[in-house]
Structure 1
Amino acid sequence: MFRTALIIASFFITGVAAAQPWETKLYDGFEGKEFSPDGGLYYRENFEQSAGTVEFQSAVKRSGNGGLKLSVVPVCPDSLDGCSERAEIWEKTELRVPYDQGIWYGFSVKFADPIPSGDHRYLVAQWKREIEPGAEGDFSPFLALRMNFGKLFATVETNYIAPASSGPDGVAAACRPGQVPVWGRPGINQMRMLVATDPAWRPDDGKLFNACTDAIAVTNHGNPLPDPKSGWIDFAIYTKPGADGAGHIELYANGKPIITVKGHVGHDDKGLGHNQYFKFGPYRAADVTDWTLYYDDFRRSPNCADVLAKEACPFP
């Protein structure tokens, strides 16, 4: 009783509440032979993840003495429809961030040769909302860094909103100012918006996005996503979902601002959980080749300056 009174008194005197687990500053430079306790990361074990291998190595790194090598190999049988192959690193469940809170993430990635150049589904990193047991549906990431035809692009997902305009299937939309290309999927109450691309991207690469939406506002800061062949890419990303229109994303690469996204970000369906979570590592639809990515310098914090150079931060 006395201790409780002291804690309450301390709160009123200082005006500062105790930090929650999700507010903990996380960092892992992958310097040792396993994940650092200060990083809050782990490798999840399941069938799709059995396609992956994790190697703490020192031959390829961005800084320090080590880096993480993540690889996937073919494991999916032809008879298993919809099977994926993954080597994804997850945040520990107890450190997940509430869905209505903003958080900064940083990590570096390097594409190993050969970089896949085919028409296939490849993901480098993704941010999702928890799904409660028994919930209906398979919900796409509200933010994802993807690759197709050897080109890097970013997408934002939200619940389906009728498009402002649309074109024929298989033809990329030419959107008006204030609109962004979108792939609508009304049957599952989702839609995916194309928000950033690398310099090699061409309209034909985005045929899936055959409509336009004003559900989000995208501010382009004049810098494309880096070319996957350019070496180490250091990302700094702020995520604050808001399916009601209050969403906010900041995307930086190599210290340069790429885009700001505001508006409808994420899903708000029945059966979804209270937290967002982040995964990184190679994730693809079933394929017949090996694929390797290197990662380094993972960090996470509510404070921008813990993830991105302070002078580059758009807000504290």
Structure 2
Amino acid sequence: MVELAGRHRIGRLALLVTALLVTIPLPAATAPAPDPASLILVDGFEQGSFAPEGGLFYKDNPEQRAGRIAFGRNAPLQGQGELTLTAVPACDRRAEGCSERAEAWERPEVLVPYSETVWYGLAIRLNDPLPQDDRRYVMAQWKRETLRDAERDFSPFLALRLYQGRLGFTVETDLLVSYPIGSPERPEGCLPGEARVLNRPESHQTRALVAIESGATPESYPDYFDACAPGIRVTRHADLPSAQKGWIDFVVRSRPGPAGDGHVEILADGVPIVTVKGHIGHAAPGLDRNQYFKFGPYRAPNALPWSISYDDFRRGPRCSDVIRAGQCPAE
């Protein structure tokens, strides 16, 4: 009888446990986070702040705190809003390494690995007064993340710059073999398809001027692009619009490749400007796994404010995700 009663108690306990398992809901499985490389991001700056679906933010750091950020409605490219970023005088012009900037950054959670292809679209308008000197002026830049213990700085592997009032795109990579223009190897200039470069041995980097403004020649730009690098191959389709044009809608393919498999495409207002292949970007100690994009005025110290407006930010894994006019380049 005792054994039978014990069996009844065990049976009732089993039924109770089963009932609890049936009636108490188990926690739902957490959905995996989306792959950043597959995200399509859009921000027309219509909301008076950065849109959650755009993946952008204004970074709070000492260099940026003096800058100004304004969401406004002053003749946007389309829609009702635009973003104006202004770098203001904040450095002692005698200070070493000081810079002035006001940049919007991609958020860390949306960053894409350095080895992936990402397409960007962004409209840019340079506001008056337009700087005409030959200081450091950058309006948009693509970089590789660096670790805290990195021993040196790395320039953007792709950047939109201003040279004496003219637009220019540059790509940067680890130091390459190059041949000075006028040397026995390149007595008359660069061979077809070779990039015109500035070698910077002190920083172990080579910078190439890959796109110039309409009506200019490479000789119109600072004469420090004085060598030719076979390791960066440039196919020019057209020149950039004038910096004074007003709104320019850029589409850019970002695909760094420090080992020589990089591939960049640049379009402006639907017109293919340049295809760049070869050594693009950096591979060195102190570098992290992701690439990132930021835009806004960045410069060496200056006595005047510098203001740029932006509209219609787009990002996606394909050209068709971001293009607004013209045709996508063949892959």
Does the TM-score normalized on the shorter chain lie above 0.5? yes
Report deviation, 1:187. Answer: 2.5
Partner of 1:55: 70
Which structure would you say has the larger Rg? 2
The letter for the 2-side match of 1:245 is G
Q: Which amino acid in structure 1 is aligned with residue 216 of structure 2?
A: W
Query: Is contact 1:60–1:294 with CA below 8 Å preserved after alignment?
Result: no
Deviations 1:200-223 (A, max 9, x none): 4340423011111111111111x2
Deviations 1:32-84 (A, max 9, x none): 11100010000011221123111000123100011011111100023521211
AA at the equivalent of 1:211: A
Task: After TM superposition, give the deviation of residue 231 of structure 1 in Å.
Answer: 1.0
- Determine if contact 2:37/2:116 at 8 Å carries over to the other structure: no
Does residue 179 (structure 1) correspond to residue 208 (structure 2)? The answer is no
Q: Is the 8 A contact 1:240 1:249 kept in 2?
A: yes
Moved over 6 A (4+): 1-4
| Aligned counterpart, 1:283 | 298
Q: Secondary structure at the match of 2:53?
A: coil
Partner residue in 1 for 2:167: 152
Q: For residues 84-95 of structure 1, what are the structure 2 equivalents within 5 Å?
A: 84-95=99-110
1:165 Cα shift?
A: 3.7
Q: What displacement does 1:160 show?
A: 0.4
Q: Is the 8 A contact 1:40 1:91 kept in 2?
A: yes
| Partner of residue 297, structure 1 | 312
Paired residue secondary structure (1:257): strand
| Aligned equivalent of 1:43 | 58
- Structure 1 letter corresponding to 2:206: M
Q: Distance in 2 between matches of 1:111 and 1:234?
A: 12
Answering whether residue 191 of structure 2 is matched by residue 206 of structure 1, we say no
Give me the TM-score of the superposition, normalised by structure 1: 0.90
Q: Please say if residues 130 and 274 of structure 1, whose CA atoms lie closer than 8 Å, have aligned partners that are also in contact.
A: yes
Whether 2:236 is the aligned partner of 1:220: answer yes
Rounded Cα–Cα distance in structure 2 between residues aligned with 1:2 and 1:119: 61
Q: Does 1:137 align with 2:152?
A: yes
Q: String of CA shifts for 1:236-292, please: whole Å, max 9, x gaps.
A: 000100000010000000000000111000000011010000010111111001111
**Quick one: which of 13, 17, 24 aligns to 2:39?**
24
> What percentage of aligned pairs have identical amino acids?
47
Q: TM-score, normalised by structure 2?
A: 0.86
Letter in 2 for 1:278: F
Equivalent residue runs for 1:234-273 within 5 Å: 234-273=249-288
Aligned partner of 2:9 in structure 1 is none
CA distance in 1, matches of 2:255, 2:285: 20
Structure 1 residues 2, 78: CA separation in 2 closer, same or farther (over 3 Å shift)? closer
Which consecutive unaligned segments of at least 5 residues does structure 2 have?
1-25
Matches within 5 A, 1:104-119: 104-119=119-134
| Aligned 8 A contact 2:256 2:280 in 1 | yes
Go from structure 1 to structure 2 and tell me whether the alpha carbon gap of 1:57 and 1:310 turns closer, same or farther (over 3 Å shift).
closer
In the alignment, is the contact (CA less than 8 A) between 1:151 and 1:200 conserved in 2?
no
Deviation at 1:314? 1.8
Alignment of 1:63-102 (within 5 A): 63-102=78-117
Judge which range, 72-81 or 292-301, deviates more. Answer: 72-81
